[in-house]
Amino acid sequence: MLRSRTVLSVLAVAAATLLIGGPAEALADQPLPSAIFRATHNSYSGNISGARNSIAYQLDHGIRFIELDIHDNDYATSRDYSIGHDSPGNQVDHAGNPASNLLRDWLNVINTWSAQHPTAAPIVVALDIKDDLTDNTSYAAGDLAALNQEFVSVFGARLFRAEDYPASPPTVDALRGRVLPLISGDGKTRTQYKRDIGYNPAVAINGRGQVVEVHDSGSGALWYWSGTYGADGRVTWLRHGKYDNGVTPAIALNDNGDLVEVHQSQNATTLWYRVGRLGADGEITWSASRKYDDGVLPTIRFTDAAGTRLREIHRSQSNSQNWSWDGVLDAGAMAVSWSGNAKTSDARHDKTTSTSGTSRVRVWTGADGPTPSQTLRIDTDRYAGDRIRYQQVAFDEFQQGDSAELQQGALFYAAPATQSAFITAARQAGRLVRGWDFDSAGDATSPLANQPATNRPYDTWYQDLLTRSGAIQ
């Protein structure tokens, strides 16, 4: 009898919640992918080509999906991306919004509002990337590591990272006060965020857990990744950049963060080296490239505990004979003194594997599901098959017509609001789905898109539809 009364009491409270608090409050503790949120399309456009008002006004009135279009024009000068539709400043409404077009200023508006409303439902901040960021060849040029850092530096502890998304979806209440970053827009950029492609990878790890990987692009460009080996046995990659031209690179790294890289020229059999200095943030300061011999397939290792003596072994350009050099690193001058060039019966160093104490890293290429066979991968002594890629700070959106690579593991899906079949199928599959240009009640699907992104969020039809659907604030 007591149990029956308890059940009746629970049902009575639930009924009262629906009558008094409304659908939004009653459904707030549902899993995130099941929830409906008010959303705007081109949120920065305010009352240009729509009626949205300022970003703060939108948030005040229940909008929980904000879309900002960004460009990388003049990043090297401003150290920031620019808001705009077809170009920086295009269709940007500054009324009630920041006077500048700089992304950080707009993100700060969202962060300030979020800090002042810690019980608000999670805000998704989608960056529709209008330019190809894959040709930004360094952090300083505005690559995806720089974009990650902008999210992290602005939102801090409020940021909910994609890499922290649990196997079982969190509830809306568990994410109140948080900001979820989302990358949309340019397909090449979104794809590179999930994986990298390379040839002839090589790696080195030092006693401080610093890791540097180098590879060639297959078309003559040399690239590096730098990162740290963590307590969980996985490598967190901090920086990525192009550093030279050539093929078949190899790398040696000492405990001071000094590194020596060797490679072959792209269209000749000359061998070159560079000295680098690895910073705590993963940035590498490089010397000029210097020729030291002729040959192919160079490899290199430090041979002493101090990390000053080197041995380089490569193959002859004309036969299978291996040759070696001894080297002494002058870290201050960022140069190597080479001596003792001679034939050797020793095998070339294994440039794909590096060990420091009990820590071991090995790099290789191979498909990971739908990714290409030249996807860069890494094994450690504690974790196998990870991808070498940017930290997964942001969620990566899958859009109608995208490749299987972008669909793999995606939580957020998106399509024009008129594409009802795509939206419905994605909802039924448990994804968070955005329909953009949702500007008519006729665009509604069953189930409704989680984020029906409209240009006119205060129209009666939209307000009524979202209220009936239990949209959460």
Digit-coded pLDDT (tens) for 411-466: 999 999 999 999 999 999 999 999 999 999 999 999 999 999 999 999 999 999 99
Q: What is the DSSP letter of 6?
A: H
Full-model pTM: 0.92
Digit-coded pLDDT (tens) for 329-388: 999 999 999 999 999 999 999 999 999 999 999 999 999 999 999 999 999 999 999 999
| pLDDT recorded at residue 29 | 85
Task: Name the average pLDDT for the chain.
Answer: 94
Q: What is the DSSP string of 45-70?
A: GTTSSS----HHHHHHTTEEEEEEEE
Cα distance between residue 223 and residue 216, in whole Å: 6
Q: What is the CATH number of domain 33-191+392-469?
A: 3.20.20.190
Helix or strand (DSSP H, E) at 188? helix 187-194
Digit-coded pLDDT (tens) for 31-64: 999 999 999 999 999 999 999 999 999 999 999 9
Angle subtended by helix axes 187-194 and 144-155, to nearest 10: 80
| pLDDT recorded at residue 441 | 96
| pLDDT recorded at residue 27 | 60
Residue for token pair 């005040």: 60
The pLDDT > 90 percentage for the chain reads 93
| pLDDT recorded at residue 28 | 62
Return the exposure string of 197-215: e unless at least 16 CB atoms fall within 10 Å of the residue's CB, then b. bbebbbbbbbebbbbbbbb
Helix or strand (DSSP H, E) at 251? strand 247-253
Residues in a beta bridge with 129: 70, 185
Digit-coded pLDDT (tens) for 101-115: 999 999 999 999 999
Return the exposure string of 366-387: e unless at least 16 CB atoms fall within 10 Å of the residue's CB, then b. eebeebeebbbbbbbeeeeebb
467: helix, coil or strand? helix
Phi, psi (5° rounding) for residue 379?
A: -110, 150
Helix or strand (DSSP H, E) at 423? helix 420-428
Sheet with strand 235-245: strands edge to edge: 199-205, 210-216, 221-229, 235-245
Cis omega (within 30 of 0) for bond into 447: yes
Cα distance between residue 333 and residue 123, in whole Å: 50
Residue 420 has which token pair?
């009802």
Residue for token pair 């029906």: 452
369: helix, coil or strand? coil
288: helix, coil or strand? coil
| pLDDT recorded at residue 303 | 98
Short-list 239, 248, 334, CA closest to 296:
248
Domain ranges of the chain: 33-191+392-469, 196-387
Identify which has the larger pLDDT, 1 or 125: 125
